[in-house]
Amino acid sequence: MATYIGLDLGGTNIKISVFDDFFHKLGEKRTPTEVRFGSEHVLNRIYDAVLALLDELHLTCQDITCMGIGVPGILDIKNGISRFSPNFPKWEEVPIVAWMESHLHIPTYIDNDARVNLYGEWKFGAGKNRNNVLMITLGTGLGGAAVIDGRVIYGATGSAGEIGHINMFREGRECRCGSSGCLGRYVSALGILRTFREKVQLGQHSIICDWVNHDLDKVTADMLSRAYDDGDAVAIETMRETGELLGYGLCAVFSLYNPEIIIVGGGMSRMGDRLLQYTREILDTHALRIPYGCCTIVTAVLGDAAGMLGAAVYAKEQFLQSAANNVQN
């Protein structure tokens, strides 16, 4: 029986699952990414984690049909290269596919991390049986991917859906893409925590400061949710500003993609309506009325497992397509 690996490479964690031919999960492993140490270190962590998971399942690399990896940022999908990832330092022109195939000897395919999340939710989750779907991933960064008229869109360079780089401010926070004021610099785990820190540094007091003994580097997104629930004014203001910015960004998305459903995934989606209520308020008053009226906004039903499942689905499709092309040739 065919067996597939789906891997979701995030700025915080590497998430790996092994699936059978019906996409039943056989096992899963998660390990910190440690992006600060650079690309070679991250690739070795993927290698070690894959071998450890296979060992736990009493499998070898020879038992795996193929592997799919969701990678944040801009990719050269055809050649298997990660060209740039805004939240990964020391990460440019990384030959992920060549590296993995030479070390693991498993056919490997890469796609954008938001897009593999989309594959998971579209095939098995909140977007099932829908033809016009937008997936946004709120994690370490902000990503997006779309299905239009039943087809996943890629664009000329595979960059379609990169809503994290919609420019929101003429002179804003610098982005590693080379611009400034990008939406993802504000609406993401890194962005929302920076917004919170800036408010505290300007003299506002939050209960979170007591929780972390005023060490702002220890603040997490989950702490913001807890403080919000406790009525903390700084946490509420931070959520409101972040949710409103996401709303303004999505106004452009409605005009461009006309989705029937927007699925919000990634670790920050756990904030739920603490964040999204402010997003909906902006959309209610600013979005193009007819397309917005035909769209629902939901959180991902597969949670943070969507990327692993979607990466495996994508890999299987690419593997079968490659085999069919070889037969024709």
Give the model confidence (pLDDT) of 257-315 as tens digits: 999 999 999 888 889 899 999 999 999 999 988 888 889 999 999 988 999 999 999 99
Residue 15 forms beta bridges with which residues?
A: 8, 30
Residue with token string 């931070």 = 238
What residues contact 119, with CB distance under 8 A and at least 6 apart? 111, 152, 309, 310, 311, 313, 314
Give the model confidence (pLDDT) of 11-48 as tens digits: 889 999 999 999 999 999 999 999 899 999 999 999 99
Going by their DSSP bridges, the two strands 25-32 and 66-71 should be labelled as unpaired
Together in a domain, 167 and 262: yes
Quick one: tokens of 302?
């597969």
Does residue 120 sit within a domain?
A: no
Does residue 48 sit within a domain?
A: yes
Does residue 284 sit within a domain?
A: yes
Together in a domain, 264 and 197: yes
Helix axes 273-286, 233-257, angle to 10 degrees: 50
Together in a domain, 174 and 205: yes
Highest mean pLDDT among 96-100, 152-156, 319-323: 96-100
Give the model confidence (pLDDT) of 206-239 as tens digits: 999 999 999 999 999 999 999 999 999 999 999 9
Q: How much is the pLDDT for 329? A: 63
Counting the structural domains of the chain, the total is: 2
Together in a domain, 296 and 191: yes
Residues in the chain, overall count: 329
Q: How much is the pLDDT for 313? A: 96
Does residue 119 sit within a domain?
A: no
Together in a domain, 165 and 262: yes
Q: Which domain holds residue 75?
A: 3-112+305-328
Q: How much is the pLDDT for 83? A: 92
CATH of the domain at 230: 3.30.420.40
Q: In what order do the strands lie in the sheet with 92-94?
A: 74-76, 81-84, 92-94
Together in a domain, 271 and 314: no
Does residue 118 sit within a domain?
A: no
Does residue 29 sit within a domain?
A: yes
SS (H, E, C) 257-278: HCCCEEEEECHHHHHCHHHHHH
Together in a domain, 179 and 230: yes
Measured distance CA(137)–CA(150) in Å, rounded: 20
User: Above pLDDT 90, what percent of the chain?
Assistant: 78
What's the N-to-C CA distance of the chain in angstroms? 26
Q: How much is the pLDDT for 324? A: 77
Residue 108 φ then ψ, to 5°: -125, 140
Structure letter (DSSP) for residue 79 = T
**pLDDT-derived band at 141, boundaries 50, 70, 90:** confident
SS (H, E, C) 130-198: CCCEEEEEECCCEEEEEEECCEECCCCCCCCCCHHHCECCCCCCECCCCCECEHHHCCCHHHHHHHHHH
Residue 96 corresponds to which amino acid? I
Does residue 121 sit within a domain?
A: no
Decide: 34 and 41 in contact? Cβ < 8 Å.
yes
Task: Assign residue 7 a region (left: φ > 0; alpha: ψ between -120 and 50; beta: otherwise).
Answer: beta
Going by their DSSP bridges, the two strands 13-20 and 81-84 should be labelled as unpaired
Does residue 18 sit within a domain?
A: yes
Together in a domain, 161 and 47: no
**Closest to 77 measured CA to CA, from 112, 127, 107, 30:** 112
Together in a domain, 196 and 103: no
Q: How much is the pLDDT for 323? A: 78
Task: Assign residue 3 a region (left: φ > 0; alpha: ψ between -120 and 50; beta: otherwise).
Answer: beta
Together in a domain, 139 and 254: yes
Measured distance CA(173)–CA(193) in Å, rounded: 13
Give the model confidence (pLDDT) of 148-199 as tens digits: 999 999 998 888 888 999 999 988 999 888 899 999 999 999 999 999 999 9
Together in a domain, 147 and 262: yes
Together in a domain, 94 and 179: no
Measured distance CA(265)–CA(208) in Å, rounded: 25
